[in-house]
Structure 1
Amino acid sequence: MKQLRIPAVYMRGGTSKGVFFLAHDLPSDPAMRDRLLLRIIGSPDRYGKHTDGMGGATSSTSKVVILSKSDRAGCDVDYRFGQVAIDAPVIDWSGNCGNLSTAVGAFALSAGLVEGPADGMATVRIWQVNIGKVIVNHVPMQGAEVQELGGFELDGVAFPAAEVKVEFLDPAADEEGGNEAGGAMFPSGRRIDVLDVPGVGKLEATLINAGNPTIFVDAARLGLTGTELQGDVNGDKALLQRVEAARALGAVAMGLVATPEEATAKRPHTPKLAFVAKPASYVASDGKRIEADSIDLLARIFSMGVLHHAMTGTGAVAIAAAAAIPGTIVSRVAPAGADGRVHFGHPSGALSVGAEAREEAGQWKVAKVMMSRSARRLMEGWVRVPAE
């Protein structure tokens, strides 16, 4: 048996990292492509370590990205994102990674898919194929190269880098639907639904399509405070089972799957479930103290069955959209300010995100959500994978 040699770049985007490919370097057949990508990442791994692959054995580091030039008017590149399960032969292509969205522009520029200025800011318009939305990266350039190093600090990332400004355009579906990820902004037509969750009971939830399909609940209804870190949650199997039961019921209520069992088995990446609470002081995972008066709310999100170490980029998008719209679980805790911005605490620190929202004929529209992240190439070359 010989090994294949496939061009790839290992990149960090925001608080995630993944393996980036050009579409023409991978099989066109989806089944063959997915088998190859699973082996590259090292999944499924019954030991949960990804020792024999490029994955990092966490939901934040078990990811793949595929890029190609776009034929869509007004877009530069097509971007596909795959969330790779660690212990199962599954790649979930149903949603997006907001963090890795930050790295798409830098990769596209470095790979020659897009031309940028020698110096200044390159604007890369990205068609996110999974969810059918446009994302814009504003990438700094210097000497005809992507500027990756700088002084921008992001909670959840150990080292500073250059700031990349990201805009998620029309991240929430309109009331008539049309979002490939699951229909209208509020699929049920309501801003708060009630899920009857085994082990929890009647659970109020906001089911929203923004960034990714997302379910928001109050922390207290799960027996949580909102100040939890991963170590407080991820060892509690009974809690994780209740959370997955709620997420799976929400997936059915959003029209994404037919049964809760299908959500657990075939759609582990989306919808995400997040819990929120009023501000409280806590110590973040790096030991930094986050004061209650420095944030508008507490927010935590589950990803691939466990609590995320920071906040997913699409989770931040959903928080911004839900905070801007009256009557949601999020806005009930912390309505967005006059500038549309909300500052929230997550396990690794704090993050500010803003939304441009307006009410038209009794319906709320979110034009875009803005945030700043950073991205960096960690390694470029070829991945080796055993040929079938």
Structure 2
Amino acid sequence: MIGYIARAVGAPTPTLVLDHRQLPRDEERLTPVLTRIREWLEANGRGDILKFALVEPSAHPMFDLDYRFVQGLTGGVDRFDFKGSCGHSILASVVAADGQAWLPKLAPGGRIRVRVVNNGDHVVCEVDEARRRSGSFTVHFLQDAGARLDELLLTGSPVDQLITGTGVQEASLVSMGNPYVFVDAEELGLNSVDELFGAGDDVYARMLEIRRAACELLKWPTDGVFPKIAAVGQYTEGRLAVRAISVPKWHPSIALTGTTCLAAASSIPGTVPERLARRAGLARGVIEIDTPGGSTAAAASVAGRGDGADTLHWVSVSRKLAQLDEPACIASLKNYDYKEEPAWLPLAV
């Protein structure tokens, strides 16, 4: 089996892109195959790869690629999360698919339409610049009929009081792209960009505790990947500063889905990000973000009168780079030959 290693700039790890047509569809049969792939990666010095993108040309006339994301978890090569998505891995999939001629050749102005199998998201990757093995993109996360902003709140409230071992923590629980917990960095005692970006193990542990409290409130597993968590600070006019946690460490920047979720959250009255965005003087739905790994921008297309009943049509994130690194010949699956059983059998004569 051949996989393709690709990386989106700002992602915590590379992504291994695999042809979904060569793999089982159900988790029970897929898990042992992915386990063998992780064993091979570790044996070959690539145990850092924890993101897996299962991709194929889409049979749907409205899409170019079908994409399924799997997150490898720590604590064992047989541990995976199949529920969420990853925007950086979508970009990795696009450049890998381009390298395999599964798509029309990437060119500036072109649009690659991606259907996310995990959660039904529709994503359009607009090509800003194309090179032989890399590209720069603006990524649009679409909402089919427009989602009500207040329906993106996981508890229905713009802020929740989370009970932790160190006291009550205010947070906003929002889901767009992926579910996130947003907290005000200043409430963590981080009063400057340098303090936020330089925060160490004590702040990391406290954020994990806040995330755990959010999981308990939502009645979600505390040992899973979701919701993710990010601290948001407002220290500079016209900008937000963000520090997020990935699996299993500080994120070098912020996930593409995290930027998307933050842009949506900043449009919902009363949330932590909305309050900080207003203080920064940002226009509604438009955010400029600084992270330890660089800067990016996002814009949400919102229609309505400025209340929670407004509708969200899409969120666009610009200045995203991705590159194809190398093929990976997975020797342990050299003779693996998966064939999907037909959904029907001919009638006996």
TM-score category, normalised to shorter length? 0.7 to 0.9
What is aligned with 2:252?
309
What is aligned with 1:46?
none
What is aligned with 1:27?
24
SS at match of 1:304: coil
What is aligned with 2:209?
245
Higher helix share: 2
Q: How does 1:21-100 map to 2 (within 5 A)?
A: 21-42=18-39, 51-53=42-44, 55-57=46-48, 61-88=49-76, 89-100=78-89
The one-letter code sitting in structure 1 at the alignment partner of 2:311 is K
Q: Deviations over 1:260-301 (max 9, x none)?
A: xx222xx2x21111111221xxxxxxxxxxxx45x5121111
Match for 1:384 among 322, 331, 335?
331
What is aligned with 1:121?
109
Q: How does 1:300-379 map to 2 (within 5 A)?
A: 300-335=243-278, 337-338=282-283, 340-359=285-304, 363-372=309-318, 373-379=320-326
CA contact (8 A) 2:243 2:251 kept: yes
What is aligned with 1:154?
none
SS at match of 1:33: helix
- Residue 71 of structure 1 deviates from its aligned partner by 3.6
Q: Hey, what's the Cα distance between the residues in 2 that align with 1:68 and 1:127?
A: 10
Q: Hey, what's the Cα distance between the residues in 1 that align with 2:316 and 2:143?
A: 11
What is aligned with 1:284?
none
- Residue 120 of structure 1 deviates from its aligned partner by 4.5
Q: Deviations over 1:340-362 (max 9, x none)?
A: 42112211232222211222685
What is aligned with 1:18?
15
Q: Deviations over 1:61-96 (max 9, x none)?
A: 421100123344522221111111233331112211
Q: Deviations over 1:159-207 (max 9, x none)?
A: xx63212111129983599xxxxxx3112111111111122x1111111
Q: Hey, what's the Cα distance between the residues in 2 that align with 1:231 and 1:52?
A: 33
TM-score of the aligned structures, taking structure 1 as reference length: 0.75
Q: Hey, what's the Cα distance between the residues in 1 that align with 2:252 and 2:144?
A: 23
Q: Hey, what's the Cα distance between the residues in 2 that align with 1:33 and 1:54?
A: 23
Q: Hey, what's the Cα distance between the residues in 1 that align with 2:146 and 2:39?
A: 35
- Residue 100 of structure 1 deviates from its aligned partner by 1.8
- Residue 31 of structure 1 deviates from its aligned partner by 2.8
The one-letter code sitting in structure 1 at the alignment partner of 2:298 is V
SS at match of 1:370: strand
Q: Hey, what's the Cα distance between the residues in 1 that align with 2:199 and 2:4?
A: 34
SS at match of 1:317: helix
Q: Deviations over 1:30-68 (max 9, x none)?
A: 23322222332349xxxxxx74256453xxx42110012
Match for 1:105 among 84, 91, 94?
94
- Residue 339 of structure 1 deviates from its aligned partner by 7.2
The one-letter code sitting in structure 1 at the alignment partner of 2:67 is Y
Cα 1:28–1:133 change in 2 (3 A) is closer
SS at match of 1:221: helix
CA contact (8 A) 1:227 1:347 kept: no
Cα 1:305–1:109 change in 2 (3 A) is closer
Q: How does 1:225-264 map to 2 (within 5 A)?
A: 225=191, 227-228=194-195, 232-233=199-200, 235-236=201-202, 239-254=203-218, 257=220, 262-264=221-223
The one-letter code sitting in structure 2 at the alignment partner of 1:122 is G
Q: Hey, what's the Cα distance between the residues in 1 that align with 2:289 and 2:317?
A: 13
The one-letter code sitting in structure 2 at the alignment partner of 1:217 is V
Match for 1:168 among 121, 132, 141?
141
Aligned-CA RMSD value: 3.0
- Structure 2, unmatched stretches of 5+, are 337-349
- Residue 333 of structure 1 deviates from its aligned partner by 0.9
- Structure 1, unmatched stretches of 5+, are 1-5, 44-49, 150-160, 178-183, 280-291
Cα 1:175–1:197 change in 2 (3 A) is farther
The one-letter code sitting in structure 1 at the alignment partner of 2:147 is D
What is aligned with 1:213?
179
Q: Alignment length, in residue pairs?
A: 327
Match for 2:153 among 161, 179, 186?
186
